């Protein structure tokens, strides 16, 4: 998350920042973990939601490819509609999606 905050304060047009955020989006959306404890798993998923939200909503997030934006939103949708997860986590994913859609339609 510290890297994301540094990217937020860096020049949004900087090519290295755009490449870095694209690489982070790819890493987070393709990461897989084996769940062992439902409570701990939900903490991890909440952190993933926070990272995905930050990636898209930072100024350099405008440089994400359409494919990356789609993968970010699909990751949020998967959490949103996974019924084995708590309602709190699913609602958090829903609110994250709302923030993302509002941003995309305001661009």
Q: What is the pLDDT along the chain (107 residues), one digit of tens a residue?
A: 556 556 555 555 577 778 888 999 999 999 887 778 888 899 999 999 999 999 999 888 888 999 999 999 999 999 999 999 999 999 999 999 999 999 999 87
- Report pTM: 0.83
Burial class (CB in 10 A: 0-12, 13-18, 19+), 46: middle
Q: With 0-12 CB in 10 A as exposed, 13-18 as middle and 19+ as buried, what is 59?
A: middle
Q: Which domain holds residue 79?
A: 1-106
Quote the number of domains for the chain: 1
Q: Chain centroid to CA 100: how far?
A: 9
Dist. CA 25–CA 23, nearest whole Å: 5
CA distance 88 to 46: 10
């Amino acid at each position: 998350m510290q890297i994301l905050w540094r990217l937020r304060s860096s020049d949004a047009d900087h090519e290295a920042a755009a490449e870095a955020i694209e690489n982070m989006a790819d890493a987070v959306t393709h990461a897989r973990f084996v769940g062992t404890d439902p409570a701990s798993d939900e903490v991890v998923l909440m952190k993933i939601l926070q990272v995905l939200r930050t990636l898209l909503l930072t100024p350099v997030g405008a440089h994400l490819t359409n494919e990356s934006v789609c993968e970010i939103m699909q990751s949020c949708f998967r959490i949103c509609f996974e019924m084995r997860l708590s309602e709190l986590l699913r609602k958090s994913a829903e609110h994250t999606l709302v923030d993302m859609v509002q941003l995309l339609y305001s661009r």
